Every structure is written in structure tokens, then in C-alpha cells.
Amino acid sequence: MLINSEDPFKITRLIKNYVGKDTALITVGEKTNVDIHKLIFFLNEQTINFIGGIFPMVVYENDVNERGIVIHRLTSVINISTIKNISQKKYTIPPIDFEPNNNYSLVTFVDGLTSNISTFLSNLYENYGMQTTYFGGGAGSLSLKQKPCVFSKNGFFKDAAVVCVNKMKSNIGVKHGWKKLDGPFIVTKAHQNTIEEINWENPFSTYKKVVEKNANTNFDDQNFFELASGYPLGIIKEGAEHIIRDPLSVKDDRFLICVGQVEENTMINIMKGENKSLINAAKIATEEVVNQTKKAKNAIIIDCISRILYLKDNFKYELEAVSKTIKNKFPDIQICGALTLGEISSYGNGYIEFYNKTIVVGLFE
């Protein structure tokens, strides 16, 4: 359901009518002028179960927008938790009693601009393992200024995650479509989401040399993030697609600050995108998940905000490819989601990963 109102009381009434006793998964476009604290108060007053996040843009059916609130109904929820202090690793993952021979799905929104996200996801997996699938995205502002961006009945937080576990089967498709430009390189020194050395040298100099030569332009001439959005880093994974890392900014004309952790001794390539390969990757990811699914009740799209920054007007073709592929098999399904600062999925071997510049399509049965 799409809500265009910015009145917290009216929004609450609409959510209550829509989800009833089920749980509301709330995605809010960052330009929506709504008081989140008041919204939380009214939702709690009406005893509505919910988790939510603020995102650069929200997805509803065939459209994306910086304004608006999209509501997704989650059924059979067994646990909702708020986990704070992600960057400091000072938190406890709540225990959950998973019943054998049942399907579970975990949905999480995490502050996409905090550090140690990969550590948090690893801790989730260490506690819950392959008893559930994992799905979610990084919340936050396209301004790249860290501020409160995830919320639950407990409040509105930054450096935190909200987690919802429900007894429901889900299938997930994940693809990115970025191709190798140059490499491999080795990350010889790193701290959390900061690359401090590549091949024992200045990482920005190494990156800059490759990118400027291919782009035929200089970083001095435009915003770093704008040019870098077309040249992500790819963590090499044996027998699998690269895990993409988005270079966010440069510190001291040397260090590369990324969305998501990069470990020391990681092998990376510098990647490049083409419109056709990115759009086709989104279609393939959707085809894979549609083919796995017999009967879908809900569809959630988690797509990286930097894909629309790169594709620009052509992004509509990516969204159209995803929507048409889903609707061809499940014509009555609602498609909703968000454009995020990092994507979360347990695609493939079941292990949870934090991606950048990637599309994750989830179908819930």
C-alpha cells in the first residue's frame, strides 16, 4: 500500500486498516515530511506491530519516489527486535526458538552509513544459521549524513538495526551486472569500511588512475561519488559473482571510504557498468526467484540507490523488467520496496551478505 499523507494520525489509521493484527513493514522516502516520533507514538497507541526505515527512495509497483510511505504486510511474525550500537559491537542478538521442519524469513533494516554492518550480519548468522532466510537493506539519506533512519516501537535510531522474523517461506534472487575493468588488486590495509592501502600503495591514487583513464575525465572536475558510482570495487568470490563495494568518499586524498566493510587481504577488482548488463542482471535475478516460487503473496524489491544514479532515466527499464517478470506469473501481487544504501540477502549458499550496487528480489509465500 502507498500512503501519500504526511499526517502521522492519518497514516496510523491507514496502516491499522491495512495490516490489522499482522505486522507492518514501513519504508519511508526521505523527502517525506512526516514526524517519525509522532508516528511511532500513534502506532504504539494502536498496538500495531511494525518495523521501518527511511530510504533515499521508495518503490511501489512500477514507480520510485523520494516522497511517500509504502506499507508491506508481514504475517506470522514470531519476533521483532531493535539492535543498537552496531558500530561499537555492543549488542546481544536475541535467541529465537526455531521449530524444525518450518520455513522462516528474517527481514532487517540497518543504518547503511554505520560501520561494522558485516560483523552484525555475521552475528545474526552465527545465532540463527540456516534456520531462516535473510533479506533487507541499508537505510539512510542520500546526503550521506548519518542520522536516525530505522524505527520500531522502541524509538527512532541511527547506528542500529530493526529485525523481524516470521514463519513464512521466501525465495530470493540477487544480481548486479557489473563487469571487471581492472585487477586483481589486494587490500593490504583496511579498517572497517575504510581501505587504507591497495597493493601497499595509496588506494585513491590506484583507483583514480584506472577510473580517470577509462572515464576520460578527472575526479577534480566533479563530485567524487558521482563519478565513482560508475566504477565500484568488486570483492572476488570463488565461483560466484563479485560482492560489490561502493566507494563513498575520499579521506585525506588517500583513503577510500566504502559502504560496507572491506577486510584486509581481500582480493578486489575495479568494476565498470553498462546499462544493458545492469538491466539484464535485474531481469535474470527476478526470473530466478519467480521460477523458484509456486505461490507468492508478497514481492519486495531492495535495489541500490546508486543504480538509479548510474542508470538515470534508464532505471525505469530495470524496474519495468522486474515488475513485468513478476506480474507475468503473479498478476495480482503487490510490488513494493526501497532504493537502499546497501542490500542484504542470504542468496545461494545460505550465508548472509551485505551487498552494494545490487538488486535483491524477494517473493514471500
For CA atoms 82, 47, 364, 306, give the dihedral sign.
Answer: negative
| pLDDT of 264 | 94
When pLDDT is cut at 50, 70 and 90, the band that residue 229 belongs to is confident
* pLDDT at residue 175 in the model: 94
Q: What contacts 185, CB < 8 A, 6 or more positions away? A: 198, 199, 206, 267, 268, 269, 270
pLDDT at 184 over 80: yes
240 C-beta neighbours (distance < 10 Å), count: 11
Weakest-pLDDT range from 21-30, 226-235, 341-350: 341-350
Q: Write out pLDDT tens, residues 94-119.
A: 999 999 999 999 999 999 999 899 99
Q: How many CB atoms lie within 10 A of CB 140?
A: 30
pTM of the model as a whole: 0.92
- Percentage of residues in the chain having pLDDT higher than 70: 99
pLDDT in tens, 16-55: 999 999 999 999 999 999 999 999 999 999 999 999 999 9
Domain spans of the chain?
2-175+277-364, 179-272
Q: How far is CA 328 from the centre of its chain?
A: 25
Output the CA–CA distances (angstroms, integers) from residue 365 to 82, 158, 293, 322, in the order listed: 25, 31, 8, 18
> Mapped to the 3 state alphabet, what secondary structure does the chain carry?
CEECCCCHHHHHHHHHHHHCCCEEEEEEECCCCCCHHHHHHHHHHCCCEEEEEEECEEEECCEEECCCEEEEEECCEEEEEEEECCCCCCCCCCCCCCCCCCCCEEEEEEECCCCCHHHHHHHHHHHHHHHCEEEEEEECCCCCCCCCCEEECCEEECCEEEEEEECCCEEEEEECCCEEEEEEEEEEEEECCEEEEECCECHHHHHHHHHHHHHCCCHHHCCHHHHHCCCCEEECCCCCCCEEEEEEEEECCCEEEEECCCCCCCEEEEEECCHHHHHHHHHHHHHHHHHHCCCCCEEEEEEEHHHHHHHHHHHHHHHHHHHHHHHHHCCCCEEEEEEECCEEECCCCCCCEEECCCEEEEEEC
The pLDDT value given to residue 347? 72
pLDDT band at 221 (very low <50, low <70, confident <90, very high): low
**Model confidence over 72-91: pLDDT tens digits?**
999 999 999 999 999 999 99
